[in-house]
Amino acid sequence: MEIRMYGADWCGDCRRTKAQLDGLGVAYVYLDVEHDDALRDEAVAIAGRQSIPVVVLPDGSHMVEPSNPDLEVRLRELGVIA
d(CA 14, CA 51): 10
54: three-class secondary structure by DSSP: strand
* Structural domain span for residue 13: 4-77
In a domain, 26, yes or no: yes
In a domain, 14, yes or no: yes
Number of domains present in the structure of the chain: 1
In a domain, 22, yes or no: yes
Q: Residue 12: give its domain's CATH number.
A: 3.40.30.10
Check: CB of residue 21 under 8 Å from CB of residue 28.
Answer: yes
Q: pLDDT value at position 1? A: 73
| pTM reported for the whole predicted model | 0.95
In a domain, 36, yes or no: yes
Q: Provide mean pLDDT across the span 21-49.
A: 97
Whether the per-residue pLDDT at 71 is higher than 90: the answer is yes
Query: How many helices (H) and strands (E) in the chain?
Result: 3, 4
Q: Provide mean pLDDT across the span 1-24.
A: 96
